[in-house]
Chain A
């Protein structure tokens, strides 16, 4: 069984540019989560999808961040326009319905210069 995958693994962009991160969850997992870790800080929750619906987006920092999960499969997280403080590692995790464990992807390291 393939694990959670994320693309790209690294992204370096300039302030003001747009970046789109992608997450492919484990097949059949309805729950998909995005988290972010800014350097030296804790991993922070961003949002939670159940299938294609946003269940909880309380952790999204501001309206420069847009997450989608069309069709309830993969998800994208777009940052537009990017700011310096958006730099960090963005993790995606998925969980099967009824399960308790979140399976994490390798993360995307975003650097905004």
Chain B
């Protein structure tokens, strides 16, 4: 069965610290990979995506993620977090022949202290 695992439930950082959120997935075929973010009181929105090509993808607000096929991983990174990055982050996968449905991880709540 397809599944997505996010390593941390809650991460607390100080401003300017570097961030890495882990994401591993289990799926037997070609996948598309996504990170979504939900800021307090707002909708889920797409942060970045990987379909093919360069495994290092850049998203909005300075975020990037690296797809490592051999490790079934798609970790999210940001060199220097800001207080405004406080949010919940969701890793998701979609199989190429799955009609578009997303399989989500459990979510990681990030709190950035000013």
Binding site for B on A (CB under 8 A): 3-4, 31, 33, 35, 40-45, 48, 55-56, 59, 91, 93, 95, 100-107
- Residue in A closest to B101 when the chains form the complex, CB atoms: A45
Cα separation A91 to B90 with both chains bound (whole Å):
14
Tally chain B residues at the interface, Cβ within 8 Å. Answer: 21
Binding site for A on B (CB under 8 A): 4, 32, 36, 42-46, 49, 51, 90, 98-107
Cα separation A55 to B101 with both chains bound (whole Å):
10
Cα separation A67 to B34 with both chains bound (whole Å):
26
Beta-carbon contact of B99 and A56 below 8 Å = yes
Beta-carbon contact of B4 and A59 below 8 Å = no
- Give me 15 other A-B pairs in contact (C-beta within 8 A), A42-B106, A45-B101 excluded: A33-B102, A43-B90, A43-B102, A43-B104, A44-B104, A45-B102, A56-B98, A56-B99, A56-B101, A95-B100, A100-B49, A102-B100, A104-B36, A104-B44, A107-B43
Cα separation A107 to B43 with both chains bound (whole Å):
8
Chain B residues in 8 Å Cβ range of A56 = 98-99, 101
B92 CB, min distance to chain A CBs, angstroms: 8
Beta-carbon contact of A31 and B100 below 8 Å = yes
A103 CB, min distance to chain B CBs, angstroms: 8
Cα separation A102 to B92 with both chains bound (whole Å):
12
A65 CB, min distance to chain B CBs, angstroms: 16
- Residue in A closest to B9 when the chains form the complex, CB atoms: A40
A48 CB, min distance to chain B CBs, angstroms: 6
B54 CB, min distance to chain A CBs, angstroms: 17
A90 CB, min distance to chain B CBs, angstroms: 13
Chain B residues in 8 Å Cβ range of A3 = 43
